[in-house]
Structures are given as C-alpha cells and as structure tokens.
Amino acid sequence: MYEFYNHYVNYYGGTTHMTLIFDIFVCYTLFNQINCRIIDDSFNTFKRISKGIMFCIVTLCELAIQIVLSQIGNQVFHCVSGGLSFTQWMICLGFSISTMVFNFFIKLIPLEKLIDKNLPKEEKNDKNEKVEKIEVEGNKNSDNIIEIK
C-alpha cells in the first residue's frame, strides 16, 4: 500500500491528493445544495429544478469556478500542477454522488417515530383529565402557559 502511495506522489506530485480531497469536499457541497432544495419526504430531489433558474446558474458557476481553480490555479492556490486528470475528476464526482444516495436512505427513515419522542408530554390534573401545557411566545412565566383539556 505504501508503495502505491509513493508511486502516486512521485508520478502526480505531492499536492495531488490534497487537491483531490478539496475537490471532493466542494463537489459534496454542490450535491448537498441540490439535496437541500426539497425538505419534504419526496425522493425526487430534481423536482421543479428548472423553476429555480437562479439556483441552477449559481450552482453551475460554483462548479465552473472550482474546475478553473483546480485546473489552472496551481500557482495561487497550490493545487496540483496541470490540474486533475479525467479519472481523478470522475473519482471526485463518484464520491460526491454518494450524498444523493445517502439522502435517499435518510428519507426512508420514518420521522414520525423520532418526532413522537420530542413532543410535549401529557399531564393529568386533579380530576384525572389529560392536560397538555403549551408555552406562549417562548416565555416560561406561569402567565403565558395555556392548558388544553
């Protein structure tokens, strides 16, 4: 394994792995932006993406700037000389697409079970009636608590 790393560093240069890691990080972020567009439990993260033309423009500009910085910004940003190869870019995109897969599996988890644990507890008053206490406007004064029977 160590021989492979030495060959990689000697062939591509010492900053190749750092450039690769940084590009993976940026691509993760770009794919996560697409995932975060849809906050409900629908699985189609590309639903109505064409309606947000500004979102598409900004995302494509971010990707283009990242490619330019990685490919020709070696003197200023200490990236690999000559940029990443096509195979290395495919590795970046392969790792980054995993955020889409992870998002899909997260949406399979039923949130109702998790939310039920955090809902306010019901209490019983002197007459054995269920009472739910709700705070109004976030104040914890006894004046601002409403009891629902």
Predicted local distance difference test score (pLDDT) of residue 48: 79
Q: Residue 127: which domain range?
A: 119-148
Same domain, 9 and 75: yes
Predicted local distance difference test score (pLDDT) of residue 64: 94
Same domain, 12 and 52: yes
CA distance 70 to 84: 7
Same domain, 75 and 94: yes
Same domain, 63 and 129: no
Predicted local distance difference test score (pLDDT) of residue 25: 92
Q: Report the interhelical angle of 16-36 vs 53-72 (nearest 10°).
A: 180
Backbone φ, ψ for residue 146 (5° rounding): -105, 135
Predicted local distance difference test score (pLDDT) of residue 147: 52
Same domain, 53 and 31: yes
CA distance 16 to 77: 12
Which of 102, 92, 100 is closest to 27 using CA atoms?
Answer: 92
* Radius of gyration over every alpha carbon of the chain, rounded to an integer in angstroms: 25
CA distance 117 to 110: 13
pLDDT under 50: residue ranges of the chain: 144
Number of Cβ atoms within 10 Å of the Cβ of 70 = 22
